[in-house]
Structure 1
Amino acid sequence: MDEITYEWIRTRRRTIAVQIKEGGRVVVRTPCFVSRAQVEKFLEERRDWIIKNQKALKEVHEQKLRITEEMRREGMEKAKKILPERVKYYACLMGVTYGRITIREQKTRWGSCSGRGNLNFNWKLTLMPNELLDYVVVHELAHRTEMNHSRNFWRIVEQVLPDYQERRRRLKEMSNKL
């Protein structure tokens, strides 16, 4: 059988953990005292799980939308028009203020809100249905009242979007395709 290639990271954790990263790369995190033999045994015991998840990640990667330079340019222009309109609408509805709006292309975030009230949004939101874009806008504006993800924060989101949980679930699904 083939040997599993992996990256080994020793940390202050108490248990051994394995992760499959993009591209199928295997990362093992262990407490400092764990030996190479223990890591190899751990990986061998989980070989089927590792191979199955590497294949699943490869399939997800193959289904991802290939973004061209033209799509990026058009998406940025569309985002610069649509997002300020949606932010203005929901900020008024929610009774909150905000600072600057910046459009970016982040790998792992759809939006963020700084302590000063500046909002950042991923232009790729324009590739999604409007209700998902609106969910991200409301989510970030809710941080103008609650800078955390407490129960109060989710109540604020729910007041504006009673179906936010469904939108959040769909956003996660769509994230895999972009």
Structure 2
Amino acid sequence: MTSHHDYAVAVAELGLPAEWQTTIVLRPRRRTLCVQVKPGGTVAILVPPSATPQRLAQFVSDHRKWITDKASTAVRRAPAHPVKTFIDGTEFELLGQRYRLELLGPGVPPPNGQPLPTVLTNGVLYARREAPERIQQAIIGLYQQTGLAWILRQGRRYELDARIQGLRYGVRDLGRRRWGIYDPRTHVVTLHWTVFGLPMHLIDYVLVHELSHAARPGGRAHGPSWQRRMHQWMPGWRQLQSELADAGRQVWIGDWTDPA
């Protein structure tokens, strides 16, 4: 049986770019060779038992241009989410506006007298000075509360236009792969709280995307009927879909570091 070392030698002789960090994965149940380009541009080669080192080297050589293109795209689209430090002056984007953080000591109210955290039209996000994890949760809660209020206002006109009845909304953490979901079982549209840190036209896109599902067009999830609804409500949606892939890489998703 061919060893991992034999495959590694064959690949090393190809002189592949070091930044690919190429790994060879032996897969006993596979029947064919396969190349996977992972987020960030790293490359994994899946090797079945039947492949010889020579066949592996030839396969990689034949697909080198494809790997190069995919790796370049993966590098461009690699996540670059900011890591926040909860100190005065740290900036946050919320519903298309930029706010600078100002922490208030115990018992000190914000100028508008509202519960903390809160934002003012002067571009300040006020929050209580406390442990970083508590500040993070408080600010995420502000995104959720502010985002839900926006959805309820903005979604109404689409509901009326498509005669959608009984629709409910939610805002919560949906992980790192989804901006929004529509659940036909509960008739609920849910958006990720991070959506509200995107530019306004992309926030609109995410909402309209899910509302087009809520209109229950029939057919496949993103089939012709759904696309017709998208074209009706947002003619340039395909371009926005592409913009979201790029802008979403740089939106804050809750990561923070201790200022100490």
TM-score (norm 1): 0.74
- Structure 2 CA distance for aligned equivalents of residues 94 and 10 of structure 1: 52
- Structure 1 CA distance for aligned equivalents of residues 168 and 74 of structure 2: 38
Which residue in 1 is equivalent to 2:162?
94
Aligned 8 A contact 2:170 2:188 in 1: yes
User: Given the alignment, which residue of 102, 112, 117 partners 2:181?
Assistant: 112
* Structural mapping, 1:34-53, within 5 Å: 34-37=50-53, 38-46=55-63, 50=67
Aligned 8 A contact 1:76 1:103 in 2: no
1:10-57: CA deviations, max 9, x gaps? 6678x6431211244323356x57415233432354457646755664
1:140-176: CA deviations, max 9, x gaps? 1111213611111011122111222222221122133
Q: Which is further off, 103-112 or 83-92?
A: 83-92
Aligned 8 A contact 2:182 2:210 in 1: yes
Aligned 8 A contact 1:9 1:28 in 2: no
1:78 lines up with 2:143 in the alignment: yes
Which residue in 2 is equivalent to 1:17?
34
Structure 1 unaligned spans of 5+: none
Change (3 A) 1:8 1:69: farther
Q: Which is further off, 158-167 or 96-105?
A: 96-105
User: Given the alignment, which residue of 133, 150, 168 partners 2:241?
Assistant: 168
* Structural mapping, 1:60-71, within 5 Å: 60-61=77-78, 64-68=80-84
**For 2:250, what is the secondary structure of its paired residue?**
coil
Aligned AA for 2:34?
A
Count of residue pairs brought into register by the alignment: 175
Larger radius of gyration: 2
Aligned AA for 2:37?
I
Aligned 8 A contact 2:171 2:193 in 1: no
Q: Which has the higher helix share?
A: 1
Change (3 A) 1:42 1:118: same
Structure 2 unaligned spans of 5+: 1-11, 17-21, 87-91, 93-135, 252-260
Change (3 A) 1:54 1:76: farther
Aligned AA for 1:6?
I
Aligned AA for 2:56?
V
When the two chains are superposed, the root-mean-square deviation of aligned CA atoms in Å is 3.4
TM-score (norm 2): 0.54
Q: Which is further off, 147-156 or 37-46?
A: 37-46
Aligned AA for 1:134?
D
Aligned 8 A contact 1:7 1:26 in 2: no
Which residue in 2 is equivalent to 1:154?
227
1:103-125: CA deviations, max 9, x gaps? 11421111111122222222221
